[in-house]
Structure 1
Amino acid sequence: MERPTYESPVERAIREAQERGEFDDLPGAGKPLDLRGTDDPMWWVRRLAEREQLDFSGALSPALALRKEAAGFPDSLVELRTEDSVRAVLDDFNDRVLRDRLRPLGARATQVLAPTVDVDALVEQWRVLREEAEPGPEPTSAVEAPRRRRWWHLRRH
């Protein structure tokens, strides 16, 4: 006597969808799977983040987020217009680093520290980047372009 096989609700839904042909024209059908980098235990998370263009920076610990922010200096400061605003951003960063160091440790956690930044050195690097980014004055030509006539000059009677 043959035992009836149990089909879970999920298996039944998949089988019925296959019978209806809902899986027939999926993207990548008939192509081999891309298994590059699957030796990394987090490969699927990295692929998901890349495919969906997700930003996981909010999942970082505060110290790692601060380290990531510091890695972007001075390039992230180029858009600031004044030295005072650059100093304010860097002083705020150093204050947040010092506050993070006062955070109590978890039960079995090791503390990762973010370093403070040298404000004067980064301000100097910002100056150099700003000078490189600013376009120089446009060269003036010896011949001036003719003046454009306005439309109302055409309506003379």
Structure 2
Amino acid sequence: MVHWYESSIDRQLREATERGEFDNLAGTGKPLAGHGEDYDEDWWVKDWVRREGGTAGVIPPSLAVRRAAEDLPETVARLGAEAFVRQHVAELNERIDKCRRGLIDGPPVVLPLFDADEVVAAWKAARPR
């Protein structure tokens, strides 16, 4: 004798199927979006922009951290004191750490932390004498 266990979720799905609630769903019989295409590592961003109607005015928070990391030299160049540069690097490193731990929404972003001494040295070297 075979005993079959049916969880409450399985039961709900079976009953909904029997009632025909999954018949004629939008997309039935159509291929999945992106089927047969090459993998795109930016799929999440493109899908998000598409869902937002192509007019997304704000990028996902994790991508904003990536952009801030890319813009670090230009950002610190506008700062007038070493203390501000160090503070900016510390705040950016904190945001990067949150991305690494998945505490910031958006696609995964893995960035190295910045060495404040190296950033300060580059900032000093770029300043007019």
Query: Normalization by structure 2: what TM-score?
Result: 0.48
Query: Normalization by structure 1: what TM-score?
Result: 0.40
Higher relative contact order (CA 8 A, sep 6+): 2
Of structures 1 and 2, the larger Rg is shown by 1
